[in-house]
């Protein structure tokens, strides 16, 4: 087993970042399309038919829900832009990749499960309790989450 270089770490981090950005672009595109489609239906439906026009109210609620999803996806995209993939972290922090015997985590946004070359990583937000359980720790440190102890075997 060869020692992984900083260049290889940076390359892996770039791939993870690219996957997260791709997931966010899909979320942006789908929420924008759904919001536009709902707005079109609302325009075609026309003004209120009566004082208690529940169908129109449902369309407005649906459009607003998609607008909120769209805004959230845009915000998370801008959060990803703050990550420097060339920064090799020495402690668990935003932008770090953490490897334990059980899991691998990318501290970025909550994008979920990412598969790279047959290896599973979990993109998690710095706002989740799991991150707070390991925040500031270094390679070799142990943390406990949900009653399970894990040791950080690698960190970059």
What confidence tens digit (pLDDT) does each residue in 19-42 have? Answer: 999 999 999 999 999 999 999 999
Domain co-membership, 62 together with 104: no
CB contact burial 38-67 (16+ within 10 A = b; e otherwise): bbeebeeeeeeeeeeeeebeebeebbeebb
> Of the residues 80, 111, 137, which one is the last residue of a structural domain?
80
Domain co-membership, 68 together with 102: no
- 98: how many CB neighbours lie within 10 A of its CB? 27
- Backbone angles phi and psi of 63, in degrees to 5: -60, -45
Q: What DSSP state is assigned to residue 89?
A: -
> Of the residues 19, 51, 80, which one is the last residue of a structural domain?
80
48 confidence band (pLDDT: 50, 70, 90): confident
Percent of the chain residues past pLDDT 90, beyond the cut: 88
Domain co-membership, 22 together with 73: yes
In this predicted model, what pLDDT tens digit does every residue of 115-125 receive, in sequence order? Answer: 999 999 999 99
**Strand pairing partners for 143?**
150
Q: Is the pTM of this model over 0.85?
A: yes
Residue 116's domain comprises: 97-155
Domain count, the chain: 2
Find the mean pLDDT for residues 65-90.
96
Residue 85 in domain: no
Is residue 104 within 8 A of residue 119, CB to CB? The reply is: yes
Residue 1 in domain: no
For 37, the token pair is 């489609």
Element (H, E) at 114: strand 112-116
């Amino acid at each position: 087993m060869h020692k992984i270089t900083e260049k290889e770490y940076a390359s892996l981090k770039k791939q993870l970042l690219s996957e997260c950005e791709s997931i966010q672009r899909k979320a942006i595109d789908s929420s924008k399309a759904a919001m536009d489609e709902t707005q079109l239906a609302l325009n075609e439906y026309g003004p209120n038919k009566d004082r208690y026009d529940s169908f129109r109210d449902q369309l407005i609620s649906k459009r607003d829900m998609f607008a909120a999803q769209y805004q959230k996806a845009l915000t998370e995209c801008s959060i990803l832009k703050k990550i420097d993939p060339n920064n090799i972290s020495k402690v668990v922090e935003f932008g770090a990749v953490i490897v334990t015997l059980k899991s691998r985590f990318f501290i970025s946004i909550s994008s979920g499960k990412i598969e790279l070359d047959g290896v599973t990583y979990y993109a998690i937000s710095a706002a989740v309790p799991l991150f707070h359980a390991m925040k500031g720790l270094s390679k070799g440190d142990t943390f406990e989450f949900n009653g399970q102890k894990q040791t950080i075997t690698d960190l970059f």
